[in-house]
Amino acid sequence: MRKKIIPLLGCCAGLLAASNLMAAEPVLEAQYKKISSQEIPGNIIKMVGDDWMLITAGDGKEKGQYNTMTASWGGLGSMWGFQVSFIMVRNQRYTYQFLEKSKYYTLTFYDNKYRPQLQKIFGTKSGRDSDKVKESGFHPIDTGYGMAYSEANLIICCRKIYGDKMAEENAIPELSKEWYFNGSKDYHKIYFGEIVAVWLKK
C-alpha cells in the first residue's frame, strides 16, 4: 500500500509546483533566468545588512492583498535539509499580518539607484495608509510564490516553514539593553522559509 501512496503524494506536489509556475507572469521568464539557491551571487551579508532588501507577503496580484517592507536583518543558510532564508519582523509592522497569513514570502534585492525607494517609501511609510507600490513606481510581478517587482535584480521565493517570537531572556544582556531596553516588549518574530525558487535578472 505504501508504494502506491508515495508516488501519489509526489504527483500532487509536482502539480502544485507546476500550477505555481504557471501563475507567474510572462515578464518573469522574459526578464529573469531561474537559478538554484547554490548559485545565488554576491555577499549576502552585505546585500542584506548594507544594501537592504524588500520583504513581500500576501495573496498575490490578482487579489491585491499584499504588502512590502524594507529589511536589513536576515540571511540565507541550511536547516532541516532545506536551503532557507530567515527574516525578522516586528508585529507592529503592516507586513507582519500578511506574513502570518501567507504560505509564501519573497525577498528582493536592488541596484543602488533604487535606494531612495527602499529608504523613503518602503522603509518609512506604512501600507495601512499609503499605496507604497504606486509611490515607488515599481512594477509588481506575481511569481507564483508571492509578489515581487521587476526592478529587482534578484528574487528569492520562500515557503514559510517555521516562525517564533524572539524573547529578551534568550539574548545576552547587552543586546537586550540595546534593542529592547524601553520596556515595550515589541519583540521581532523570526521566520524561516524554504527557498523554492530563485530568479536572477538577465
CATH code (residue 46) = 2.30.110.10
Structural domain total, the chain: 1
Q: What is the mean predicted confidence (pLDDT) over 98-112?
A: 97
First to last CA, the chain: 47
What residues make up the domain containing 23?
2-201
- Full-model pTM: 0.85
> Which pLDDT value is given to residue 60?
67
pLDDT of residue 2 exceeding 90: no
State the Cα–Cα distance between residues 52 and 33, nearest whole angstrom.
22
Higher-pLDDT residue of 32, 172? 32
Phi and psi (nearest 5°) for 67? -145, 155
Task: Specify the higher pLDDT residue, 153 or 27.
Answer: 153
pLDDT at 136: 97
Which grid coordinates belong to 168?
529578551
Pairing outcome for strands 82-90 and 188-201? antiparallel
Per-residue pLDDT, averaged over 65-72, amounts to 96
Examine the pLDDT at 120 and tell me if it is beyond 90: yes
